[in-house]
Structure 1
Amino acid sequence: MKEQNQAGILLSRPAWKNPKRGSLSILLADMLLVLLSLFGTAQCLVSAFSLSVKPLFLSLCIALFTFLFLVVFSLKRWRLPFLLALSAAYCVTAYFLRTYFLQGFVLTTNQILSTMSTHSRFDFPQFRVDLPVGEYTNACTIFLAFVLFFLSCYICWTVRRHSFWLSLLGTAPFLLVPLGFTITPAWPSVLMLLAFWATLLFSRFCAHSSFGRTSAAGRVVLLVLPAVGLCLVGMSLLIPQDTYTRPAAIEELRKDLESGIYQSSLFSTQGGTLGRVNLNTAGNREYTGQTVLRVKNPDKTPLYLHAFSGSVYTGVSWEPLPDSSYAELEDALYFNPQNMSGQFLSFYALPEEQSLLVEIEIQNVAANRNCIYAPYGLASRPEELPGTAFVHDAYIRATSPFGMANYTLQTWDLTRFSRTADLELVSEPFYSAEQAYRSFANTHYTQLPQNLLEKLQWYCIQMGIPSVEIAGQEAVVRAITDLVLSSGEYTLSPGTTPEGRDFVDYFLFENHKGYCVHFASTAVALLRSQGIPARYAEGYAVTAGDYGEDGWADIPDRHAHAWAEVYTPGLGWQPLEVTPGIQLSTGELNESGDVLPEESSSLPESKPESSSEPSSSEVTSSSSPVETSSSASSTAESASFDFGPLSAILLVFLSAGGGIFLVALRRVILLKRREKRFHLVNTNQAALAIYAYLTDLTAFGASINPRSEELALKAKFSPHILTQDEVEELRSDAHKMARALYPTLPVFRKLVFKYGKCLL
């Protein structure tokens, strides 16, 4: 076949040309998208988990980080050195603020895990905080600021790349994780994230269109963003958030997933779930018979191994007292209330009674290792138990995030102590401290929801329970114990309490079926209704029949137990057994076993300060990080962190950054205008604009070559129109002259040349 000659214009193969990224509209669009995503994710995190932070400081940090990283990722050169410099500044700042950074991490983690425990069946641990309570907000704020530094870098990078999927990967978890636990963040934060994703997704299609990442794409983003925002606001008005209900199919799927994960091996090794007790899920229970604890007791006596005491009854849960309630005890006690009986007997016991002091060894096989299971009559003091923290009067926990597997405790065998405690024989410091704590217990451990209190007081009168003033506390405790033992049938299949019903009220007056949690909660409520300080307690029961010949007892999971505690002057809190069929001294337990509800967090959660008498329908939720123990607080730094200077420094940085941004913005605008004049359709006008630019260069020492002057004169005075080639020649000469002139200038003249006159 012969080749045929083809006449016409020969066109070269089309080539893709990288789009310009320096467009002003692109920069503004990216800045809006980054700010929208960062404020949305930050507010999602803070509002969903009730984190205590300083919002103004975090807002300044977001603005500063956005500016810095957008500038860095807009650079064509020197990007890596700037990133390394910012990373070095980050590391230096983190080192100087390491205490607040690390403690803020622990506080934030505790609060997130605590909130997720409250809204799920999972048993998440809590970790020790070595910082005064007054510094919690500062520590959380500083930690989140460090987190936002990395998040800002990532989001700026993904937005500049215009990658929807990478941006979604970095921001979606802040919304999806709370929603997975039925926690709804603040609605404005949800709208901001939805607007960010929708705008980025729509503009992504524009990025792959014919105009690519040009100023047109930037203008599309600036137009789409308000439209998306208006649509979301309109949707919120038409479908108010408070009227929304999750579809039944989705809720059922969520519950199935939660149940499947909970029953997996990841959670099955925790044994008894200890901590805040959610009574709403105290329904049917089962056990496996797995050994969770091994206990060595030379005397082979029965034990209640205390894990946690519930102080505030809300009608649907047992909660710890708020941290602020203990402020009145700080100067009144010289010992921890959990050591009261040990302190008392250390100088009250007779020489022949010293044999009552025994050493208990505990091996944690499969129970919660963050909890220290302590017997009553504890003699070991906080300073004698390294690696543990005595948290007020409620419980003892391990300070290591990995918990403690083996430990030894000294305790007084109060079951063999027959004498009546006589407080007149003790020293004045102990007597004053005991009086102060007794007053504290009478105030805080006699509270109930008002409607339940009135109903139980009426019930006690109907059942013939005598008043404390007439019969004395001991007689009233015996009468209430007998009443509770006969108030219901013991079963591990009592069903759940109907939604909206008070747990004790439903068990005592309607259902009459339950296990240890039901009986213990009811006993505490009845005791409190008669003005007797009482608490709900849980842990493990060790019976006399559990011990082997070597003194070791293997405690199975069915020995998880709940009981009541009554305050005894001088000896502190003592256990009160109120569950039918339980007799530790003879080794008797219910035939089907006795277990705790699965819905509990691994350790108690600190709660915001609230009324001492919550209503029966009020569910008190955790909204502040877990409280630190008294020993932890004493070792923390006493100096507080002042945000004033740092906020001032941030404002200076933002002001300087704003000025730099305005200068850079002015330069971008002037350069774009000049380039537009250089490419006017009227070639003579374009040539004159280029010559004017050459004239400006002469002020810095440049000289115009004769050919450029000739073309400029031709454009000005000749009736002829310059060709495109002549204009391109003139334009090329101007650009070459400017690039050759700039390196020869001193530093100050360079700044004026580039940013003052904007000639390059």
Structure 2
Amino acid sequence: MQQDNEKTDWLYSLLLYGLGFLLFWEWLRPLTVISDTGQTEIFILFTGFLFLLSYFQLPFWLSFPIKSASLIYALHAMFFPGPFFDFLWFDYFLSDVSQNISFLFGGSFDELSNVFRTLLFFILLWLISYLMQYWLIQTRRIFLFLLVTIIYIAVIDTFTAYNAENAIIRIVVIGFILLGLLQILRIQEQEGVTFSKGRFPVYWLMPLVVIIAFSSLFGYIAPKAEPQWVDPVPFLKKTTGDGDGNGVGGNGISKIGYGEDDSRLGGPFVMDDTPVFTAEIKERGYWRVETKDVYTGKGWEASRSDRIPFEGSTETLYDESVEVEPFDTKVNMSGNEDFSFIIHPGQVNDIQTDVDVQYSENPLTGKVFTESFGDPLVLDQYSLDYESPTFSEELLRDAPLDYPNQIQDLYLQLPDTLPDRVGTLAEEITGDETNPYDKARAIESYFIGNGFVYETKDVAVPGENEDYVDQFLFESKLGYCDNFSSSMTVLLRSLGIPSRWVKGFTEGEFVATAGEYREYEITNNNAHSWVEAYFPGVGWVPFEPTRGFSNQADFVNDYSDDEASNTETPDPVQPEEQPEQQDQVTEDQTSSNSTSFSLEWTKWHSIGLVITLLVIAFIVFKNYKKWLKRIVLSRYKRRDDGKALSEAYFRLLWLLEIHGIERGANQTLREYAVLVDQKLGSQDMKELTRRYEENYYRGKTNDTSWNEMKKLWENLIKKMES
């Protein structure tokens, strides 16, 4: 019979944990809409794994390292390319944690890195999973969490683009089932109800499920009245000065998706998951629209706006020495944006469409316009033949410095108002480099640390006498792709390296596989900007300085030595060059402004700090009950006043509850005393309770009562298990 009851308890727990996880999942679903958080599936999997470990009730010494290892693995999957057991990334991770802990205790919350913010979020999920276990298994109460969840989803649905129409139905169904199941369990525990052969009370739960399902279905299909309250969003926008778009973030400028006018940058980027287009493509990569060459100190403009007939291929981006591979793709516009131009992934050789269309091109920006008899034409779909390059780092490092005059005239321009400290910073960053390519890499890596944070909301707008890049580099250090890409372009130009600002979209989100092609959906959230630098004999090479984004271009050490594509930080093949390259990667990743200590010191300092915190946490967890008993014993051992017995008795009840011997809601002190003596194998609790009732319920209080009962009280505390 006891074995059957144990199986029943496991079935209860499985259902409770499963429903609790589904309810908490609703908190994670809106993250992709209300924030710039990506890869939410990793958060969901991590949370599910925590719930699973809680369900199996593993001992702390086993569950804690498992959860810690899964947390670190999740961080690696989100932020660090390469194998998990390559401890180069772990050195950087420990260095980042150490640096951000100092920011945290110093109150510099804006300087926290994305890696550290994500670490804190994982820890928060860990704590919530523990609280869910406490609410579901210990207290059997979930109503407050359910109410907060409904309020949270309602607010998100009202003030953001997240559609909670289906979410609220899921929450109500899951929540009511949980409430009903917990009520059944409370009745069973309080009234001592047992079920024949320990079987799960399906005949109790099924009517509840049927009623909830029927009520939810009826509420969903029933006719509904129009909203009786005025939409609060316009009212709040008007109240806060945002009714005309001049109150976003308090700076008067906001950006949604891809925009045409870049003459004044800054302000928040409003997240919007409206689809722009889908693409079937073999090789993922960025989607470009145009480039701009004139930096004004406030934003970017194109020095030419004229158009010429499109000759079948876009601007030549790469020299003949660059190895390219032909690809094709099919683009389907969503119809949500009036884009009368071509969005393409590289150097286009041919465009095919089913409609009669004329193409024209801005020879400077590379933007290809679509027209029909002189009027802008928005294509529903089109196919492209294009070339994807693979860059040789040896060719890039050996590239000559004799730039063509036209390239210098267009792509070294800087405003006279640019502060001198921008150029000084560029010299400091690249002081150890000897060629333009390594200088570009050093600047690209500079934004990994040094306090720069990817931020889409609290983004400053330069004042009348402020420079956009200077403000970002030296003051705010908060921004998104426009801030990072503009800053790198200006830093390169200040070193005499021709560069330009590129606009388009990131690769988008994978949707499905269609034969040998993969389908991606690109939304307004994927609007992006990056950098291209010019190298004679190679052409225009892309760089990605924005934190949290990876360069999609392929780089190899040399064509003759390595035919396999690599990522933005390729691993060299030649043995004699490997230590030098690894040191460079380490230096780039752990560089820190105003930090003089070495990576080795930081690594061991971080490891020591983490190990110390883990040891302290483990010791406290294993011994806190023992310490509480000693504190209570020492506090009351020398007291002999009349109030000591009452206070000590209730302190004893508190310790018993901490040690797992809980008093029922309707249980008298004498009934509870019998339970305690059964658990501890003594008769002391009944005697102590009897004396307590005599002293305080029958008016027999005296100062000698506590001294007489102290021995019983001490014996009970000492018999409690740690």
TM-score (norm 2): 0.37
Which entry has the higher C-alpha Rg, 1 or 2?
1
- Ranked by relative contact order (alpha carbons within 8 Å, sequence separation 6 or more), the top structure is 1
TM-score (norm 1): 0.35
